[in-house]
Amino acid sequence: MADLKSNRHLVNASLMILAVILAIVYNIHFKEAPKESAQIKEAPKEAAQAFDIDQFIAPDTCGACHPDIYAQWENSMHHFSHKDRIYKAVSDFFRSGLSDPDELKEAESCVKCHTPVGYVTGYPTKSSDDREKIPELAQMGIQCDYCHSATTAHKIYNNDLQLEPGNGEEDPGVKRGPFKDSESFYHEVAYSEFHTNAEICGTCHDVKHVVFETDLETTYTEWKNGPYNSDDPEKRITCQGCHMYQRPDVPATGSTERPANPGYAAEGGPEREHIFTHYFVGANVYLPKLNGDLEKSRMAMSRLQHSAALAIDKSHLDQHELIIEVKNIGAGHYLPTGLTDVRQMWLEIEVNDKNGNTVFTSGVRDKDQYLPDDAIIYNTVFGDGKGNPVRNIAQAREILKDKRVPPGESLVETLVLPQKDLTGGQIRVSLMYRSASQKLLDEITGKGTHPLPIVTMAEATVEI
């Protein structure tokens, strides 16, 4: 057995060496490396130059025949993934002052997901590349032709999408999607099972440090290990099953209905039972608002408001213990998810005696909107490898804290209240969310920054 195994390693190793030699020979003899081999290689330089920017078609061209989908995508965070001012500020902030080459490597890697069309067409390849020189098309972030040219991903993290784009507007190539009977006189179409599953999302929504391999974002893995990734088709809900069913007044979460959205995928196309929406709303309430899109801001708010449930257990109050249960009822992943070292979800607690005097508080913001140190916060804290917390993901060598609520599950908090008679009083608990701590935002963009909107995700009140 052991022999067989080491033989296999030998064979694999020889094959790899052969492949490397072939690739070198190929590269010397042909000006352009073949797309397939260029993509599979790990080296970012080769992958970055795999395509020509003119091969990709601008979203508004797609929008001419897919107007509804275009309008939904237009104000989405996918469109703004490159232009997002918070992302740009954080990216610059994280890069400044670094000297460790491994840390710099991570700090330079952001464009792979945030400016993906630029990355695969050769510019930018690094976060520090001059933003002025980035082609306009690449600035449009995660766009139609990028996702619909994808065929598969070999690893479900750090954006490993394999692409087969066409050759621009004159020769648009194949657009891949969920229909088996689609016809378009403009572009070729193909059914793609890959597009109907969570992996197409997961390849970007799981982020690992490029050198230390610390898990920086794990939305896909959280979903994969959770109850929504069920073999039972009745219970199975993919990312698309929530996020591409949402539309105004239909939050489409784990705790709400997710009715189909019948209609037309294209002008002149047939009527369909369900058209997957392209709003891609998460929890970002403030950026759509800054962009003047109040509807999308409301949609993010409504998503958050259907995510969690709170319960107050009074049974141990005689021992001055307050027990609070926080349940994730609506999200297909942990609560919160994504950039959880930056996001803030916390409990705001107030206990009043029978005269209305406040005898206990937790998680109440000060005048600068900062939280007290002892607030109960659901988040992730990264460390430098020696147990000291770091804020910069480029320096994240370990995870010091990861306290969040898994899908369908609860976390229980027990608080000790002051030894006072609380009879006739009241306990009020709220679960709050904002996209970043105000402290971090102030540090990055300067104090006096407009306070971030705060959403009350759930509330509970009991009389004592």
Site for ligand HEC in 398-427 (CB under 6 A): none
58, 179, 262 from 194: Cα distances, Å: 23, 12, 22
For ligand HEC, the closer CB: 59 or 363: 59
**Segment (H or E) for 17:** helix 2-29
Nearer to ligand HEC, 148 or 327 (CB): 148
Point out which span in 12-20, 235-243, 378-386, 443-451 binds ligand HEC (CB under 6 A).
235-243
Candidate segments 17-25, 219-227, 374-382, 416-424, binder of ligand HEC by CB under 6 A? 219-227
State the residue for tokens 């030894």: 419
Cα separation, 149 vs 394, in Å, equals: 30
Enumerate residues 144-163 that contact ligand HEC by CB under 6 A. Answer: 144-145, 147-148, 158-159
DSSP E strand boundaries for 130-240: 150-153, 161-163, 174-177, 188-191, 206-208, 215-218
Least gap, CB of 307 to ligand HEC (angstroms): 4
Contact pattern from residue 319 through residue 358 relative to ligand HEC, giving x for each residue in contact according to CB under 6 A and a dash for the rest = -----------xxxx-xxxxx---x---------------
Q: Is 429 in the site for ligand HEC (CB under 6 A)?
A: no
Kindly tell me which residue out of 47, 55, 78, 434 binds ligand HEC, with binding defined by CB under 6 A: 78
**Residue 460 interacting with ligand HEC (CB under 6 A):** no
Q: State how far the alpha carbon of 215 is from the alpha carbons of 320, 405, 443, in Å.
A: 39, 17, 24
Where does this chain touch ligand HEC (CB under 6 A) — which range of 16-24, 263-271, 370-378, 439-447? 263-271
For 410-432, b/e burial (b = at least 16 CB within 10 A) is bbeeebebeeeebeebebebbbb
Decide whether 211 or 312 has the Cβ nearer to ligand HEC: 211
Buried residues in 173-199 as b, exposed as e (16+ CB within 10 A): bbbbbbbeebeeeebebbebebbeebb
The strand pairing partners of 405, in sequence order, are 335
Across 311-342, b (16+ Cβ under 10 Å) vs e yields ebeeeebeeeebebbbbbbbbbbbbbbbbbbb
Does 256 interact with ligand HEC (rule: CB under 6 A)?
no
> Do 50 and 38 form a contact (C-beta atoms < 8 A)?
yes
Region 1-60 residues binding ligand HEC, contact defined as CB under 6 A: 57, 59
Q: Which of 38, 47, 107, 117 binds ligand HEC (CB under 6 A)?
A: 107
Among 27, 151, 152, 184, indicate the residue that binds ligand HEC (CB under 6 A). 184
84 near ligand HEC, rule: CB under 6 A: yes
Q: Are 374 and 415 in contact (CB under 8 A)?
A: no
The residue nearest ligand HEC at its CB is 338
Asked if residue 418 has a cis previous peptide bond (ω within 30° of 0), the answer is: no
In the structure encoding, which two tokens stand for residue 114, read together? 């945030």
Q: Are 423 and 348 in contact (CB under 8 A)?
A: no
> Which among 14-22, 43-51, 141-149, 356-364 is the span making contact with ligand HEC, rule CB under 6 A?
141-149
* Interface region with ligand HEC, contact rule CB under 6 A, candidates 202-210, 353-361, 371-379, 381-389: 202-210
Token pair 């998460």 is at which residue?
A: 282
Q: Which of 47, 117, 140, 142 binds ligand HEC (CB under 6 A)?
A: 142
Residue 106 binds to ligand HEC (criterion: CB under 6 A): yes
Residues binding ligand HEC: number (CB under 6 A): 106
Q: What residues from 266 to 325 belong to the interface with ligand HEC (CB under 6 A)?
A: 266, 268-270, 272, 275-276, 278, 280-284, 287, 300, 303-304, 307
Give the interface segment with ligand HEC, choosing from 4-12, 63-71, 354-362, 442-450 (CB under 6 A): 63-71
Candidate residues 179, 369, 383, 401; the one interacting with ligand HEC per rule CB under 6 A = 179
Which helix or strand (DSSP H or E) is residue 401 part of? strand 398-403
- Closest separation between CB of residue 3 and ligand HEC, Å? 39
* Geometric angle at alpha carbon 379, from 406 and 411, rounded to 5°: 40
| Residue (26 or 194) nearer to ligand HEC, CB | 194
Instruction: Please report, as residue ranges, which positions from 360 to 379 form the binding site for ligand HEC (by CB under 6 A).
Output: none
219 near ligand HEC, judged by CB under 6 A: yes
- Of 13-21, 30-38, 81-89, 118-126, the segment contacting ligand HEC by CB under 6 A is 81-89
Rounded-to-integer distance, Cα 378 and Cα 389, Å: 16
* Residue (206 or 353) nearer to ligand HEC, CB: 206
Mutual orientation of helices 438-445 and 85-95 as an angle, nearest 10°? 80
Return the number of the residue (281 or 351) whose C-beta is nearest ligand HEC.
281
